[in-house]
Amino acid sequence: MPDLKPAYLIHGDDHGALAERRAGLRALVEGPHGAGASVELLEGEAATAAGAAAALAAMTLTVGQRVILVEGVERWRESEIEKHLIGALAQMPPDTTLALFAREEARAKAPQALHAAVKRAGGQVVAQMTVKPWELPKWVREQAARLGLSLDAAAAKALVGQVGERQQRLLRELEKLALEDDPATTPRRVDAHQIESRAAHSNEWRAYALADALVGAHAPQATRSYLRLREQGERLSGLTYLIAQRLRDALAVALRLQAGESVAEVKRSLRMPARAAERFVADVARSDPERLRRAVATLAELELETRGGAPLASSRGPLAGLDEDTLALHAIEAIAAG
């Protein structure tokens, strides 16, 4: 198993990249090369500076590397870190790694005291930041060169326009292009025409497919769609926006049908392909307005919880503090169940 540093702080607003980092670290430790290493996960109410310090101090019977993953450190306060964690990091137990994950946005950021403490402990701070939209074509060309591809400015812009602005999705498409057999030139040149004919289109329609699965109460399909989108680097905030839009459209259609409007009239008024409109209206017709109202409310609660929850602790739900994927899967289950 590769040597791990005593501590890692992985932070930034590219939540898809953070999820990949966490999954990669877990797979490394739990895989065949882990050699008996163990993984502990702190999330929700347990994921505090005091909780992390207590985990470091706890005696275990584990033989080999011990890795402690902590979610949600963007919510920690400087005073909590100084009181509970700085001393614990200064006396890291042997064969132990503390990996701290901060999903940052707006004012929710990993405190600077945590940056400094991780570095003093001999650890590593890794920033996973999204590239600004106007910088993406340049970033695409740099990543392509690293993979042995040569993209001109037009090809890079075509890829961004066709796939979208998520860096993980762009990188996956470049990797697919790099795997195609074409030994004629090194680096292999890819032009805008090749991008347009081979690269995948934006994931927006996949997000609508997830929303349609929720409208139709198809829980397994919705869960698979959500996990696939997250693996591809889609942000939960972007997904909730598109899903909420679709659920509100479904509620509007349900109310029109309830008022006596014909299915044919409703389908003709929808701005979507005929077959898609037919499936959408059929799913809505099997539901009822009250269920769809509850679905919209559940999605609004999900958005609130993933942004830190209600201002007053007494107003927060029982799942407050869990990581956003856990919250989203609970919401999907609740919406599909009606």
Phi, psi of 315 (to 5 degrees): -95, -5
Is pLDDT above 90 for 61?
Answer: no
Overall average pLDDT of the 320-324 stretch: 70
Q: How is domain 7-127 classified at the CATH fold level?
A: Rossmann fold (3.40.50)
pLDDT of residue 58: 84
Give the 3-state secondary structure of 197-216: HHCCCCCHHHHHHHHHHHHC
pLDDT of residue 78: 94
Express each pLDDT in 13-53 by its tens digit: 888 778 878 888 888 877 666 556 788 999 888 899 999 99
Q: How many CB atoms lie within 10 A of CB 82?
A: 15
User: CA of 271: how far to CAs of 221, 267, 286, in Å?
Assistant: 24, 9, 21
pLDDT of residue 318: 57
pLDDT of residue 11: 95
CATH of segment(s) 204-337:
1.20.272.10
Residue with tokens 């275990």: 60
Tokens of 269: 């008024």
pLDDT of residue 182: 53
**pTM, whole model, 2 decimals?**
0.51
- Give dist(CA 119, CA 48) in Å, integer: 19
User: CA of 56: how far to CAs of 7, 124, 132, 229, in Å?
Assistant: 11, 18, 38, 34
pLDDT of residue 10: 96
Overall average pLDDT of the 247-259 stretch: 91
Tokens of 270: 């929808």
Overall average pLDDT of the 248-268 stretch: 90
Is pLDDT above 90 for 280?
Answer: no
Is pLDDT above 80 for 164?
Answer: no
pLDDT of residue 287: 85
pLDDT of residue 83: 95
Task: Among 34-48, 153-167, 256-270, name the most confident range.
Answer: 256-270
Overall average pLDDT of the 132-160 stretch: 89
Express each pLDDT in 223-246 by its tens digit: 988 888 887 777 888 788 888 888
Express each pLDDT in 109-131 by its tens digit: 999 999 999 999 999 999 988 88
User: Could you tell me how far CA 84 lies from the centroid of its own chain?
Assistant: 29
> Which listed CATH number (3.30.470.20, 3.40.710.10, 3.40.50.300, 1.10.8.60) goes with 133-198?
1.10.8.60
Express each pLDDT in 181-226 by its tens digit: 554 555 688 888 778 666 545 556 677 788 888 988 888 888 988 8
- Computed over every residue of the chain, the mean pLDDT equals 83
Q: Which of 223, 217, 207 is nearest to 326 (CA)?
A: 223
pLDDT of residue 311: 46
Tokens of 162: 């066709």
pLDDT of residue 51: 95
Is pLDDT above 70 for 314?
Answer: no
pLDDT of residue 293: 93
Domain ranges of the chain: 7-127, 133-198, 204-337
pLDDT band per the 50, 70, 90 thresholds, residue 7: very high
- Give dist(CA 143, CA 121) in Å, integer: 32
Tokens of 138: 């340049």
Overall average pLDDT of the 79-102 stretch: 93
Is pLDDT above 80 for 309?
Answer: no
Which residues on adjacent β-strands are paired with residue 188? 149
Q: How many CB atoms lie within 10 A of CB 46?
A: 17
